Chain A
Amino acid sequence: MPVIDLAITPLRELNSALHGIQPGSNDLSFEVVNPRGSHSVAVGIDTPVTVEVKGSVGYYCAGMNDGGSVTVHGSAGPGVAENMMSGTVVIEGDASQYAGATGRGGLLVIKGNAASRCGISMKGIDIVVHGNIGHMSAFMGQSGHLVVLGDAGDALGDSLYEAKLFVRGSVKSLGADCIEKELRPEHLTKLVELLEKAGVTGVRPEEFKRYGSARNLYNFNIDNAEAY
Chain B
Amino acid sequence: MCGIVGLFLKDRSLERHLGQLLSEMLITMTDRGPDSAGIAIYGSAAEGKAKVTIQSAKSEADFARLEDDLAKAGIPANVSIKSTHAVIAIAADKLTAIRPILATLRPDVRVMGSGDSVEIYKETGLPKDVVARFSVRSMGGSHGIGHTRMATESAVTTLGAHPFSTGSDQCLVHNGSLSNHNNLRRELVREGMTFETQNDSEVAAAYLTSEMAKGKDLGQALSGALDDLDGFFTFVVGTKSGFGVVRDPIACKPAVMAETHQYVAFGSEYRALVNLPGIETARVWEPEPATVYFWDHQKVA
* Neighbour of A37 across the interface among B252, B269, B286, B289, CB < 8 A: B269
On chain A, the residues within 8 Å of B272 by CB distance are 37
A41 to B294, CA, bound (A): 33
Report whether A97 and B252 are in contact in the complex, using a CB–CB cutoff of 8 Å.
yes
- Residues A91-110 near B (CB distance < 8 A): 94, 96-97
Whether B271 and A96, one on each chain, are in contact in the complex, defined by CB atoms closer than 8 angstroms, is no
- Contact status B271-A58, CB under 8 Å: yes
| Contact A94 to B286, CB < 8 A, known contacts A37-B269, A58-B270 | yes
- The answer on a CB contact under 8 Å between B274 and A37 is yes
Q: B271 contacts which chain A residues (CB < 8 A)?
A: 36-38, 58
**Any chain A CB within 8 A of the CB of B146?**
no
Beyond A78-B254, A97-B254, A116-B251, is A36–B274 a contact (Cβ under 8 Å)? yes
- CB-CB nearest in chain A for B274: A36
Shortest CB-to-CB span from B260 to chain A, Å, is 16
| Residue B195 interfacial (CB < 8 Å) | no
Instruction: Indicate if the CB atoms of B254 and A96 lie closer than 8 Å.
Output: yes
Query: B284: CB under 8 A from chain A?
Result: yes
Q: A94-B286, A115-B286 are in contact. Are A77 and B252 (CB under 8 A)?
A: no
Interface residues of A in 28-59 (CB under 8 A from B): 36-38, 56, 58-59
Interface residue range, chain A:
10 to 19
Q: Are B254 and A116 in contact (CB under 8 A)?
A: no
> In the assembly, what is the distance between CA of A164 and CA of B41, in Å?
50
Mask, A63-78, CB within 8 Å of B = 1, is 0000000000001011
Q: Mark B260-301, 1 if CB is under 8 A from A, else 0.
A: 000000000111111000000000111011000000000000
A56/B251 in contact, CB under 8 A: no
Name which of A37, A59, A75, A96 has the most chain B CB atoms within 10 A of its CB. A37
B249-263 CB contacts (< 8 Å) to partner A:
251-252, 254, 256
Chain B contacts for A78, CB-based, 8 A: 254
A135 touches B270 (CB 8 A): no
Measured CB to CB, the closest approach of chain A to B284, in angstroms, equals 7
- Measured CB to CB, the nearest residue on chain A to B275 is A36
- Most chain-A CB neighbours within 10 Å: which of B256, B270, B288? B270
With A36-B274, A116-B251: A77-B289 Cβ-Cβ less than 8 Å = no
Q: How far is the CB of B226 from chain A (nearest CB, A)?
A: 14
Question: Do B269 and A94 touch across chains, with their CB atoms under 8 A apart?
Answer: no
| Contact A56:B286 (CB < 8 A) given known A78-B254, A97-B252, A116-B251 | no
Out of B273, B286, B289, name the residue touching A96 (CB < 8 Å): B286
Q: Do residues B285 and A77 form an inter-chain contact, with CB atoms below 8 A?
A: no
- In the complex, which residues of chain B have a beta carbon less than 8 angstroms from the beta carbon of A116? 251-252, 289
By a CB distance below 8 angstroms, the chain B residues around A134 are 288-289
Complex CA gap A36/B271 in Å reads: 6
User: Chain B residues with Cβ under 8 A from A94's Cβ?
Assistant: 284-286
Q: Which residues of A contact B251 (CB under 8 A)?
A: 97, 116, 135
Which residues of chain B in 222-269 are interfacial with respect to chain A, using CB atoms and an 8 Å cutoff?
251-252, 254, 256, 269
* A-chain residues with CB within 8 Å of residue B270 when the two chains form the complex: 37, 56, 58, 75, 77
Compute how far the CA of A118 lies from the CA of B163 in the bound complex, rounded to whole angstroms. Answer: 32
Chain A residues with CB below 8 A from B273, complex form: 37
User: Within the complex, what minimum Cβ distance (angstroms) separates B106 from chain A?
Assistant: 44
Please report the C-alpha to C-alpha distance between residue A75 and residue B274 in the assembled complex, in whole angstroms: 13
A167 → chain B closest CB, angstroms: 18
Q: Which residues from B are CB-within-8-Å of A75? A: 270, 284
Bound together, the chains give a CA A134 to CA B249 distance in angstroms of 12
The complex places the Cα of A1 from the Cα of B272 at a distance, in Å, of 30
With the chains together, A135 CA to B273 CA distance in Å? 25
Query: Considering the chains assembled together, what is the distance between the CA atoms of A97 and B286 in angstroms?
Result: 9
Verify B269–A58 contact, CB threshold 8 A.
yes
A-B contact pairs, 27 of them (CB 8 A): A36-B271, A36-B274, A37-B269, A37-B271, A37-B272, A37-B273, A37-B274, A38-B271, A56-B270, A56-B284, A58-B269, A58-B270, A59-B269, A75-B270, A75-B284, A77-B254, A77-B270, A78-B254, A96-B254, A96-B286, A97-B252, A97-B254, A115-B286, A116-B289, A134-B288, A135-B251, A135-B289
